[in-house]
Structure 1
């Protein structure tokens, strides 16, 4: 189970600037049995001499890494995602330690992702919205900032340790992938704006709360399809009523 559970976890680096970090991440992933490295709009050459030199025996992880243009693309096919952050948040979702949260990524038969932000800014609120849980690495408050590769190393170690626990796979239900959920969120936002429940100046904050609510529900693809069907009927009714009002307003 250990190898299979770790192989299902993607390590996603968003806009990484340093080739030394990319190479170091590939190396520690190899150390800890992880092999899916995805780079979102990297600001460096992943195959540079610096990156290759730091990868050492993790060169195969580096060479098999994927380049994508957006975080949603990196998450396509995933059912679970955890984002790393050091910023305090006012959302209801708590900030957890790696030891508490990361074993969740090893749920049998699910594809998961662990997301890391750019070295200079971390993940912004829009990027954090794609995750269901948040991890912060406890450190000395006088100097809590970790290098990107160090942060990946801490989390990779905790994943590896969690995977060593011998446990019987529990029956699992098929969860909707994050890209299917994202399609629903976009549809829901458009529909709620149309009927006046959301307003342009508050839509971002409101949708963050709505996303958190649905993330706790662990929706299946069938449940998302049911919700999309409700939205589709709402859209049809709105269009029908709008057409009726338009006809009424026309001079006879």
Structure 2
């Protein structure tokens, strides 16, 4: 059993911010657009699209909206060409930050990301400056509605999970190798679990604490501004955030 998961706190904070700002579907829509253009509009033959549809549904995106984006991306009328770019840098007091973007204007995105780092006490670094402190993990979150721990453990490991935590009363966090995430999600869904999210995330190997009140304020503002930017898909960091009560 793992201890309380800091990276799930990061994800839940991110999703709460996005939901308030109405950004979730804009971000998922871009991912779907790129996926359809690369692999086609049929989820039965495009496994990545199938995953993104599941992600959209888990975020309460209406089916009509999902279908509309898929049809637009598959048609000749969609001229958007999004490019994937990853930025790395440091927040206040050396907090490591990775910013994953999808953009149709990389000059605009680079300028915005650099501005956020400069404004809130950080600095944008070069490629590879912090990514060595992170590793990719498949992270799946299940609704915990009074589930039996032994049964959850048995079911998770049946589908190649490598760790899980039931420390949170509301959710269960399950981790696995990135390649095992799809099978884990589909297997647990078939067994009747409510999968709230299933994504590949960048998990830090070490964490940085912030004791200075001003540094905490600036770090929160840096994250909020990055996450509110339409071009930014994901933000990962190694700030050891205070645990929620």
- Per the TM superposition, whether the score is higher than 0.5 is no
> Computing the radius of gyration over CA atoms, which structure comes out larger, 1 or 2?
1
Short-chain TM bin: under 0.3
Normalised to the residue count of structure 2, the TM-score between the two structures is: 0.25
More strand per residue: 1 or 2? 2
Of structures 1 and 2, the one with the larger relative CO (CA 8 A, separation 6+) is 2
Query: TM-score scaled to structure 1, two decimals?
Result: 0.25
